[in-house]
Amino acid sequence: VRDSIRPSDNPTEETSGSGKSVPARLLSTAAGLFWSQGYANTTTRQLSRELGLQKASLYYHMEKKEDLLYSICVESLRHTLSRARAEVAKATSPRSRIQALIRGHVTSTLEEKDKHATMLTELRSLSPDRRGEVVALRDEYEDFVKSVILEAQRSGVLREDLSAKLLTLGLLDLLNWSIFWFSERGELDSTELADAFAALFLDGAVVSPDGIPSNRGGA
C-alpha cells in the first residue's frame, strides 16, 4: 500500500473549488484515459493537459506514472469487494445471496467503469511486485465469490456437476466484461442488467419447463 495515491491525503483540500481534490481528479482522469487509450499509450503530457496543469506538476502528487495505475487497481477492487460483501450480508437465503452478489458487483463496477476496466485490462503493465499485490486482492475477491457459490451448492440450490471454481470464473467473466459494451443509454440500466444476469446465470437461457418462473422472491 506504500506509494499509493489516495483521494484525500489531506482533508482540507477537499473543500477547494471544484469539490474534488487534485489527487482524486488525477485518478479519475487517468482512469478515463487509460481505459480509452491504454496505459502505455497515455502520456503524462496528455494527462496534465486534461487536468489543466503543467506536466511537471503531476510529480508533486505522484512519484511515477505507474503509481496511478496501481492506485486505480487497488481502489477498484476494494470498492467492488466491500460493496459485494455488504449486499450479500443483507440477503437471507443462498439463492438471494447470489442475486445480491451479482447486483453488488454489476452496480459497483459500472459506477467506477473507467477504474474497473483499467484494472481488468492493464494489470500486466504493473511492476511484478505491485502486480502481485493487486492479484492478491483480486484473488481475495474471487475467493469471496466462490464461498457464496459453494454455500449454495452445499445447500442444494446450485448444481454440483460443474465445479465451484468453474461457476465462479464463468460468472465473473459474464459480469466483468459487460463494461465493454454496457451503455447508460441502452435498453437496461445497471440494476436491470444485474437482474438479467442473475436470471441467466441461475436459470439459464432455455425456457423453463412449464413457464414456471423460478424467479420468485426478488431480493
Partner DNA sequence: GTCTATAAAGAGATAGAC
Partner DNA sequence: GTCTATCTCTTTATAGAC
- For DNA, the binding residues (CB under 7 A) are 10, 13, 22, 42-45, 52-57, 59-61, 63-66
Between residue 16 and residue 35, which ones bind a second copy under the rule CB under 8 A?
none
Count of Cβ atoms closer than 10 Å to residue 101 Cβ: 24
Which among 120, 149, 145 has a CA at the least distance from the CA of 134?
A: 120
Sort residue 153 into left (φ over 0), alpha (ψ -120 to 50) or beta.
alpha
Q: What angle do CA 193, 81, 31 make, to 5 degrees?
A: 75
Contact 93, 152 (CB under 8 A): no
Minimum CB distance to a second copy, residue 188 (Å):
8
Minimum CB distance to DNA, residue 21 (Å):
8
Minimum CB distance to a second copy, residue 178 (Å):
6
Residue from the set 121, 131, 141, 147 that interacts with a second copy by CB under 8 A: 121
Given the complex with DNA, which of 103 and 130 has the nearer CB atom? 130
**What is the secondary structure of 160-174 as a DSSP string?**
SSS-HHHHHHHHHHH
Minimum CB distance to DNA, residue 119 (Å):
19
Classified as helix, coil or strand, 188 is: coil
User: Residue numbers of the site for a second copy (CB under 8 A)?
Assistant: 36-41, 95, 121-122, 124-125, 149, 156-159, 161-163, 165-167, 169-171, 173-174, 176-178, 180-181, 187-188, 196-197, 199-209, 214
